[in-house]
Amino acid sequence: MDNLIPLFQGKNITKRFPGTIALDNVSFEVRAGEVHALVGENGAGKSTLMLIMGGVLQPDSGGLFLNGKEIQLRDPSQAKRLGISIVFQELALFPNMSVAENVFTNSQLLKKSGLIDFNEMYRSTRESLQAFGIDVDPQSLLSEYSLGAMQLIEIARAVQQKSKVLLLDEPTSAIGKPETERLFRVIRFLRDHGVGIVYVSHKLDEVFAIADRITVLKDGEFVDTVPTRNTTPDAVVRMMVGKEFDKYFPEREKVTGKPTLELRGLTGKGFSDVDLIAYSGEVMGIFGLTGAGRTELAKAVFGVEPYYSGEILIEGKRVHISSPAAAMHVGVAYIPEERKTEGLFLGMSLEENIAAANLRKVSHGELIIPERLKGLALYAIQELQIKATSVEQPMKYLSGGNQQKVLFAKWLARQPKVLIADEPTRGIDVGAKADIHRLLHELARQGAAVIMISSELPEIMGLSDRIAVMRMGKLVGEFDPFQTTEEEIVSYAAGATIMNDFINTEDDDGK
């Protein structure tokens, strides 16, 4: 497996953007038949390196070598022709077309007459997806499948295009654990067939489960490349942040408070008969797999989606929540999972983003007072340690972690009684993650009822005062984090059969 000439290599790559050096003389290689993980905090340059290797961006200096031969990549389609495929975080698929048409996007099979040969396309698609071990009807519309399945279909497309190099950018950021396992099986299958795979991820547990080698970038510079078996997650985190994070989670000193939010038999689209009490002064973690109904429940409590039956009580008083505005009125705040599409105004400034939920607060009667607008933002920047050049900086130029802090600032300014944070640390770097954790904890200590929805077990275990587990729209258990184990939580979330998959993973790998 240790070929002398790497399959695909970037040598001494440098890329500047106005004001920053995104990559400074970085070299990186992937061999045929290996999974090479690329890790680093946000802004470390992982994505830039991926985009350069996928032909989306061009380096300022340095070169790319495919099988030892220097190549120039002008655009992604040229990279594809050379066998290099990039699968983006945001999938580039066509939901209203059939699965097969998605796989054969730009290379439909034709009959002799010149018409599209659908039967052959369906057959070939079914074959390749079966090789991945997933059962998908090539004739049905893509939109009928989950995000996780779509991702595999996108990978199938890359394989169909005879890709020898597969670049995966945060492939698990939007899918749950079982789907991740399925993805890993596909990745291993491809690796064993000689494909070189670059795997960019924030999630170290996944990296350690799938990667043969790990390369760490920090602030646009190469830190080290190490074989996975010769290192530990702690060592990699140290390389990523340059310092030791021995305390991921703040200390807990639980304040037993009054019941602030109470749900009685709440039923809506995607969840049913949920009874739940969140107390002031505590962080309640809600764990579950993708599709368990957590986000749907949160959105119903926040008035984004309707609930059909059941009651919501705030501080013991029955309330009717029919819109986000109504939810805000009774003191509920919600930080959505889909940060970019549901939370942020990317083209608008930092101060305008914070003011979005506080327009009344920054106004005198009908008139907005610019000083108050700015004051609110300056206060937030200081309190939450947001890194921004000014309050007028457009949101799209902030890092993921800082964007998330702005969203928190927007809601904290309202001093909510109940804060629901949906996957609050997804896709943000380790440093900002710790800040968000402290913030959630701080908020609870100041008397809010904090509900944290998360798919990351360490976060759920480390931060929650109580853990509720959801599965298939139902609340299936409630746990004290000090009297349970990760295994128990997962078994409740997944049900026993899928639990076996988790345990058997290692065995599969060995065979």
Partner 1 sequence: MVNSPIGSKLSTSSIIRSKIVVFLRNLIRQREAVLVGLILVECLIMTILSPYFFSVTNFTAITRGFSMEGIVTIGQALLLIAAQFDLSVGAVMALTGIVTAWLIVTAHVPYTIAVLGGVGTGAFVGWINGVLVTKLRINALIATLGTMIIIRSVALGFTEGNPVINVPLSFAWIGQGSVGPIPVPFIILVVIGLVIDILLRRGRTLRQLYYIGGNSKAAQMSGIPVDKVVLFTFVLTGVTAAFGGIITMARLTSGIPTVFSNVALTVIAASVIGGMSLSGGKGTVLGALLGLVFMALISNAMTLLGVSVYWEGTVTGTILLVAVGLDMFSHRNS
Where does this chain bind partner 1 (CB under 8 A)? 302, 304, 323-325, 327-328, 334, 336, 341-348, 352, 356-357, 359-360, 363, 366-368, 370, 410
Q: Which residues pair with 311 in a beta bridge?
A: 264
* Closest CB 380 distance from partner 1, rounded Å: 15
User: Nearest Cα to 149, choosing from 127, 166, 133?
Assistant: 133
Q: What angle do CA 190, 196, 200 make, to 5 degrees?
A: 100
The Cα–Cα gap between 171 and 152 comes to 10
Per the listing, tokens 């964007």 go with 403
* Closest CB 52 distance from partner 1, rounded Å: 18
Choose between 18 and 510: whose C-beta lies nearer to partner 1.
18
Choose between 166 and 420: whose C-beta lies nearer to partner 1.
420
* φ and ψ at residue 355, rounded to 5 degrees: -75, -15
* Closest CB 366 distance from partner 1, rounded Å: 5
Q: Which residues pair with 279 in a beta bridge?
A: 259
Choose between 92 and 325: whose C-beta lies nearer to partner 1.
325
* Closest CB 348 distance from partner 1, rounded Å: 5
* Closest CB 233 distance from partner 1, rounded Å: 35
The b/e string for 351-380 (b: 16+ C-beta within 10 A; e otherwise) is bbbbbebbeeebeeeeeeeeebbbebbeeb
* Closest CB 476 distance from partner 1, rounded Å: 28
Choose between 60 and 221: whose C-beta lies nearer to partner 1.
60
In the chain, what are the helix, strand and coil shares in percent, each to the nearest 5? 35, 25, 35
The b/e string for 270-305 (b: 16+ C-beta within 10 A; e otherwise) is bbbebebbbbbbbbbbbbbbbbbbbbbbbbbbbbbb
Cβ neighbours for 503, distance < 8 A, ≥ 6 positions apart: none
Name the helix (H) or strand (E) containing 402.
helix 400-412
* Closest CB 248 distance from partner 1, rounded Å: 29
Choose between 94 and 345: whose C-beta lies nearer to partner 1.
345
SS3 call for 127: helix
Instruction: Give whole-number Cα distances, 286 to 129, 226, 459, 479, in Å.
Output: 33, 36, 11, 10
Tell me the longest C-alpha to C-alpha distance in the chain: 75
Helical segments of 215-349, H only: 233-241, 294-301, 324-329
* Closest CB 25 distance from partner 1, rounded Å: 17
Q: What is the CA radius of gyration of the chain?
A: 24
The Cα–Cα gap between 123 and 100 comes to 9
* Closest CB 292 distance from partner 1, rounded Å: 21
Choose between 350 and 475: whose C-beta lies nearer to partner 1.
350
* Closest CB 356 distance from partner 1, rounded Å: 4
Choose between 257 and 394: whose C-beta lies nearer to partner 1.
394
Helical segments of 161-280, H only: 177-192, 204-210, 233-241
Q: How many CA atoms lie within 13 A of 96 on its CB side?
A: 0
Choose between 235 and 348: whose C-beta lies nearer to partner 1.
348
Indicate the Cα dihedral angle 148, 154, 156, 157, nearest 10°: 170
* Closest CB 149 distance from partner 1, rounded Å: 24
Choose between 5 and 325: whose C-beta lies nearer to partner 1.
325
* Closest CB 355 distance from partner 1, rounded Å: 9
CB atoms within 10 A of CB 96: 8
Instruction: Give whole-number Cα distances, 324 to 77, 335, 352, in Å.
Output: 43, 12, 19
